[in-house]
Amino acid sequence: MRNFNDHLILKGSQIREALTRLNTLAMDAILFVVDDQKRLIGSLTDGDVRRGFLKNLSTEDKVEDFIQANPKYVNKNNYSLEQIIDLRENDFRIIPVLNGEHEVVNIINFRFLQSYLPLDAVVMAGGKGSRLKPLTDSVPKPLLKIGNKPIMEYCIERLSKFGVDDFWISLGYLGEQLEEYFGDGKNRGIDIRYIKEDKPLGTIGAVSKIKEFEHDYVLVTNSDILTAIDYEDFFLYFMEQDADMAIATIPYSIDVPYAVLETSDNKIISFSEKPTYTFYSNGGIYLIKAELLKKIPIDTFYNSTDFMQKLLQEGYKVISYPMRQYWLDIGKPKDFEKAQADIKHLNL
């Protein structure tokens, strides 16, 4: 994916320079004219240049003489998924993302992105990975390679494909290796910040260390999950259900090879012939209203199941999102081996 700065050109530049830049961008040929603070002034395409020449402008004229002055854009801190879907369906392929000062801070390019979700993502990566010893004796589990990439890189890349660009990573065991590998995320077109656990804080306790999120919704995920989940569908379901928290769940079906009887006081009420029962287990991926995360006790060992129970007891709406896509929790050696085989056939 391109660096968003490739699409920016300074006000005052000659159209000759813009033509060279547009040619380099090829199928992504659109420029956004900005001032020296990166504030958006207008957009420029090949068509705008041709129309300018028809008005007797020349290659020595300035880019602002050719621009469309009111291009579509997305306000990073105030947009909805419905807005993104509408832009995508109306064939707006490349859209600038602006902050509150009207500065361009990112570019949405639907040739690379499937969506642009209004989410922060918290990746829980502080665990020791004890069940995968000795592989984790000197390498944190999220950095163990599946195929040619670390486990957690698949997680971050998939979220990035859905336009998530605000990340938090919890660090614990050998966390300095993760921080060195992923850095601040700028080379990936994202922003990564770190939460450091001085002591184990469970599967969600570290989130209490984050004082402010960029968005009203937060996705919390374990770092050792390999999945093809459709994050846009997950978010749409969460919003449609007007939920406070959604849990990605994994359906497990059990076939009973005999008739199952329902009884009361030894009296048979009904029976089912060789029934199938479906249960749903926790998939380790959660969507949560950001304001509710303040309920997590500060600097305390606290699991996601504790948080779910608290919300349920207080009457909040906690829902299940049954996953139909590939999902694998890489917790044990046999899971690690399965992931190595599966990744050859997955397009994550």
pLDDT at 259 over 90: no
pLDDT at 1 over 70: no
> Rounded to whole angstroms, how far apart are CA atoms 56 and 61?
10
Tell me the DSSP string of 103-120.
BEEEEEETTT-S-----E
> Rounded to whole angstroms, how far apart are CA atoms 48 and 54?
10
Contact 238, 247 (CB under 8 A): no
pLDDT attached to residue 275: 79
For range 169-181, the mean pLDDT: 94
pLDDT at 261 over 90: no
pLDDT attached to residue 130: 87
pLDDT attached to residue 273: 82
One fold for both 4-109 and 120-241+282-314+322-345? Answer: no
Least confident range from 1-10, 23-32, 120-129, 210-219: namely 1-10
Convert the pLDDT of each residue in 199-225 to its tens digit: 999 999 999 999 999 999 999 999 999
Least confident range from 105-114, 217-226, 271-280, 288-297: namely 271-280
Question: pLDDT band at 321, cuts 50/70/90?
Answer: very high
Convert the pLDDT of each residue in 40-52 to its tens digit: 999 999 999 999 9
pLDDT attached to residue 128: 86
Instruction: Tell me phi and psi for residue 114, to 5 degrees.
Output: -90, -25
pLDDT at 268 over 90: no
Convert the pLDDT of each residue in 235-247 to its tens digit: 999 999 999 999 9
Lookup: tokens for 337: 């081996």
pLDDT attached to residue 3: 85
Domain definitions of the chain by residue range: 4-109, 120-241+282-314+322-345
> Rounded to whole angstroms, how far apart are CA atoms 196 and 184?
15
Nearest to 94 by CA among 38, 25, 10, 15: 25
Q: What is the CA radius of gyration of the chain?
A: 25
Question: pLDDT band at 108, cuts 50/70/90?
Answer: very high
Percentage of the chain lying above the pLDDT 70 cut:
100
Convert the pLDDT of each residue in 91-106 to its tens digit: 999 999 999 999 999 9
E strand segments, 45-135: 74-75, 94-98, 104-109, 120-125
Contact 80, 118 (CB under 8 A): yes
**Residues 6 or more apart in contact with residue 122 via CB below 8 angstroms:** 167, 168, 169, 170, 195, 206, 207, 210, 218, 219, 220, 221
Instruction: Kindly report the average pLDDT of the chain as a whole number.
Output: 93
- Collect contacts of 76-82 with beta carbons under 8 A, ≥24 apart: 76/105, 76/106, 76/214, 77/214, 77/215, 79/116, 79/118, 80/118, 81/115, 81/117, 81/118, 81/232, 81/235, 81/236, 81/239
pLDDT at 277 over 90: no
pLDDT attached to residue 266: 80
Paired strand residues for 146: 149
pLDDT at 280 over 90: no
Q: Span 120-241+282-314+322-345: which CATH code?
A: 3.90.550.10
Higher pLDDT, 109 or 269: 109
pLDDT at 308 over 70: yes
For range 49-71, the mean pLDDT: 92
Contact 310, 287 (CB under 8 A): no
> Rounded to whole angstroms, how far apart are CA atoms 216 and 288?
9
> Rounded to whole angstroms, how far apart are CA atoms 114 and 235?
13
- Regarding beta strands 40-44 and 31-34, do their DSSP bridges make them parallel or antiparallel, or are they unpaired? antiparallel
Contact 14, 4 (CB under 8 A): no
Question: pLDDT band at 288, cuts 50/70/90?
Answer: very high
Sign of CA dihedral 226, 230, 236, 240: negative
pLDDT attached to residue 279: 82
Residue 38: other Cβ atoms inside 10 A: 19
For range 34-63, the mean pLDDT: 93
Question: Looking at the domain covering 4-109, what would its CATH class be?
Answer: alpha beta
For range 147-170, the mean pLDDT: 96
